Each structure stands twice: as structure tokens, then as C-alpha cells.
Structure 1
Amino acid sequence: MPIRTATARWQGTLTEGSGTIATGKGGLQGNYSFKSRFEEGEGTNPEELIAAAHSGCFSMAFSKQLSDAGFPPNAVVTNANVHLDKTDAGMTVTRIDLVTTGDVPGIDEAQFQKLAEAAKAGCPISRLLSPGAEITLDATLQA
């Protein structure tokens, strides 16, 4: 399997400095700063990139679970909300809330929920993050 890379460059102090983040193949690039990370400033931050990675990974894993069970989805849309909180250990990602909606013809609610939970358990990014952060799932089947 290929190794994936990203690069970050930071210039200046923590509160007054700024930086850039880029994925290895250039698909994602963004500026970041103290304000974009800990306040509401413009730019991205590492937690948003974790959210992007987790929502993308989960959506793919859920699509596979659905397809393997005989219910190929028309669409799976997932939002990941990453909670960065101050703890005794310092700033910590404490929880990630996955909120997903699936347009899946022919499936019933119980099977949809079962496969969503299986996708959460099997998603490589969920497995990476779950030892340190609680991961919740809210899955909605589109009518």
C-alpha cells in the first residue's frame, strides 16, 4: 500500500505566527493560524483535516458495507464534528460526532443502522482515533 504524506510549515510564535498545510499530492492546501485553530479566524486547522479524513473514510467504508450487503447506495454524505477540549493533559481531541445520511434504495432502517455501526467499527480512521476519542454516530436513512 502507498504511504500518504502531508506537509505543514509554521512561521513565528504560536499566537502571532501563521502556517500552511498541504497534502502530498496537492489536493488540499490551506492556511492556518492560532485564530483559525482556537478561535473563529479564517483558514483551516488540524482538527478540520481530521474531520475531513474521518468523514471521507467513514463514507467509503459505509458505502462498501451497504454494497456488500446488496444495497448499493446512491449517496452517503457524512459530516464529522471534532471536539477539541482543554483537559488535564492539555488540548485534546475528546470526541468526534459522525453525522451521516444515506440514500439507499430497498434497505430497512434496522439493516441501515447495523451496517452504519459496522462501518464505524471498520473504518481505518475510526480505528486509529477511537482509543483516544469517543466516536458517536447519528445515521439517517433518507426516505
Structure 2
Amino acid sequence: MGISRKASAHWEGDLKTGKGSLSTPQSGLLDNTRYGFNSRFGDEKGTNPEELIAAAHAGCFTMALSAKLTEAGHPPESLDGSAEVDLSMEGGPTLSAIRLKMKAKVPGLDEAKFRAIADDAKQNCPVSKALSAVPITLEAELVG
């Protein structure tokens, strides 16, 4: 049996002037968090689907890399990952690119081995698999 997580969205009004809220009832972390047209396509406060996808991808990839480094006998001292998700408007809104970035402090690991493990984590984290229709790049470096 797998693990199931839930989120909900509520929307009122038309696309451009309406407002919505997102909630994650299990964790309560997002509790009626605002989102709308202007937080997605402008600079109004609130979140948007692309930001949430980026957060999910950064978190998943960073955890996957930690697991794979540990399995390889090189538990990380620290990992700082990020994701940028691009929304293209050409031909209608579509996710057009995802850029993962990683700065890792992993004592005793050479650059080539690190890169191979990081590439494997990028390919095999569940969020990367779910987003496989979108081009995903990785910039990874060892620090310290």
C-alpha cells in the first residue's frame, strides 16, 4: 500500500478577478493560502501552482540525493537544493522547463562520482518522474 497526501483548492469568480485558496488538511501547513491570477501572472502576494511544483521538486530531489549518497557510503553533511519552473504562454500555458540546482557538502566524494549520483537522483525522484514531459536540467556542485 502506498502513501496518499491531500490538498484542496477553492475558487470564487472569474479567472482574472477571482480569488482562490489552497489547503493541505493533513499537515495544515497551507491553510487557506491565497492564490489567483495576479499571484500567478503578476506580482501580487500569494502563491501559484508553479511555485508549489518548484517547492515539491526541490524537496523531493534533495531527499532523493541524500538517500542515494548515503546508500553509496557518502552521507551528506549538507544539501542546498532549489528548483525553478518556467511557465510558457506560447500556444497556451504550459510548463516549459525545470532547472534543478544543488550545492552539496559531501566529505570524501569526488566530483565525477557526485555528478553521477546527482544525475541518478534527478532521474529517479518521484516528482522528476511525474514531470518527465518537461525538460529538466541539473546544475550540481560540491562545496567546502
Specify the TM-score bucket, using the shorter chain as the normaliser: over 0.9
1:96 matched residue in structure 2:
98
Secondary structure in 1 aligned to 2:29? coil
1:135 matched residue in structure 2:
136
* 1:108-136 Cα distance to aligned partner (Å, 9 max, x none): 11111110000001101001101x21000
Cα offset, 1:23, TM superposition: 1.6
Contact 1:4–1:24 (8 Å) recurs in 2:
no
Aligned length: 141
Supply the AA of the counterpart residue of 1:106: G
Cα offset, 1:103, TM superposition: 1.2
Secondary structure in 2 aligned to 1:83? strand
Alignment map for 1:43-122 (pairs within 5 Å) = 43-88=46-91, 90-122=92-124
Cα offset, 1:24, TM superposition: 3.0
* 1:64-85 Cα distance to aligned partner (Å, 9 max, x none): 1100001000111111000000
Contact 1:57–1:123 (8 Å) recurs in 2:
yes
2:125 matched residue in structure 1:
123
- Greater strand content: 1
Which range moved further: 27-36 or 42-51?
Answer: 27-36
Contact 1:82–1:95 (8 Å) recurs in 2:
yes
Supply the AA of the counterpart residue of 1:136: T
Please, what TM-score do these two structures have when normalized by structure 2? Answer: 0.94
2:45 matched residue in structure 1:
42
Supply the AA of the counterpart residue of 2:4: I
Please, what TM-score do these two structures have when normalized by structure 1? Answer: 0.95
Cα offset, 1:28, TM superposition: 2.6
Share of identical aligned residues, percent?
A: 47
Cα offset, 1:142, TM superposition: 0.8
